[in-house]
Structure 1
Amino acid sequence: MPEITFSSERVYDGYLAVNSCGKQWLTDRDYDTVRKNGRIDYSIHYVVKGRGYFETNGNTVQIPEGSLILYFPGIRHHYSFKKSDSSVMMWSHFSGYSCDILKKYCLSPAVMIRIQDRKQFESAFEKMIISHYKKTEFSDITSEGYMTVLLSLIVQSLIPNNIPCIKTDNENLEKAVNYMHENYNQTIDIGLYAKMCCVTKDHFIRIFKARFGTTPYHYQMKIRIDRAMEMLETTPITVTSCAEAVGFCDIAHFSKIFKKFTGHPPSYYK
């Protein structure tokens, strides 16, 4: 197959569209690609042969054969290939609402994924590139079909391994959760927690829900109520003082939230 490349960047509001794709033999020189603002569509870069290098949060991760980098829209790209590795890469940029499934299974907007069924994945990728290159009357539909297969294989590769995303994101998430437990009576600041994880507010909420099954707000509020219930049961503290101790300024609001979580008013535990 000859080296094939296209350049097209767009957001598609339909089911799925392959904006560009190609295959490269990275043997003539070292390659180092940086896109500070990423792209407006999704990107995958799959290593057929050799290896690549992927930078995230200041760490460099090696991308072995049979693995890919997935970037969400608007996320900084930084990946490289060395001439000495004689690598071969296939890539695709795509968009559409079917891509939302990736948000469900990926804890990070920039991840490395090891593909389980390499043979099927590479076959579908090759056929998609050829179809896209031909630009016939039916090439868009055919390319969309092959891209759907690729998305399915990517998700299947994520699920059995319990979503193997970049370790650094999980470590930062643990730091944010530990901070919540240590400062549960402070203002619930999603912006602060997101900054601790080096992600946006929306993405922090998404990865938090994927990990704990609830929102950061609900999680920290439960810590407050659990602590309040413990204080009311084991100490002579008043309901008003207890509310203040766990971060509530309004006793009525405290009582409402307390009953919502426990099914009883605070006075029930005195």
Structure 2
Amino acid sequence: MDTDLTSVTLQHMMHRLSPNVRRAWNHRVDEMRLEPRIIFDYELLYVEKGELTIRLAEETIVAEPGCIILFKPGKEHEFYSSRGECWMPHIHFDVLYYDDYEQVPINFKNRNDCSKEELAWLRPDILGEVFKFPDVFRIGNHAEVHKTLMQIIHAYERRDAESPLLQKSLVLRIIYLLLKGMKAKENVHLVQHQRAMEQAVTYMMEHYNETVPLESLSKIACLSVFHFSRVFKQTFDLTPHQFQIRYRIEKSKELMMFNRLSLSSIAEKVGYSNVYSFSKAFKQLEGVSPREFLRTYSRITES
């Protein structure tokens, strides 16, 4: 894989993720110390009990219960000390598939002691550079991360034929939970209005073929029009109008693929007054006209 991540977007990388768990361990010790080292992959550690003093490159942190630590490829770290019995469920994993996946060991040496061949195992830091993940997470949904982490550990320990697929899906869930936790921490008010936004967006989806005024949506959410619009955009990364257009276009694609209807009928069913307005919105979002989409889909189904 090309390790130049400067031009890779988050949306593009989310489609490429294919995690593999190298090791999963429900680690519990009375005292925790670890000499300086680097690792070639990622390690995600959840502090369930106890307290850890850890050096991450030049920074020293104290990790308490609920704290999540992401050790990144090639970043030196060491465990200075601990306090109390330490429960530290953790996993080692890659976020992309690599042909040498099974050859890469868990490393316990510092960079200077690693051979050139060993350093070639270093993975690019996708989660840090593209997803902007920090080394330490202190997020409100940490309990969900812990629950999912334990599910990965149990799947890893079972080692049945299907467990790699389950582990892969659970790592993706953890990445999703970390993203959502970061977003909620940056915008605390989003958590307060989460239920209201879900009610408003459900109403929009149920009435996608109608003109739904912002005033009506803001009343459902019990917010002012200005406040509703701002919170909606921060929650879904789209304005209410953009969300409705996107949902209408997705519904129109379903109708084109599974029904023998004219484009005029489809336009009417998804809330457009005429086929021209529908075609313009479709092309702006999809990059092709509805007729071009239909031709492409027909070629695929006929081949």
**TM-score using structure 1 length:** 0.48
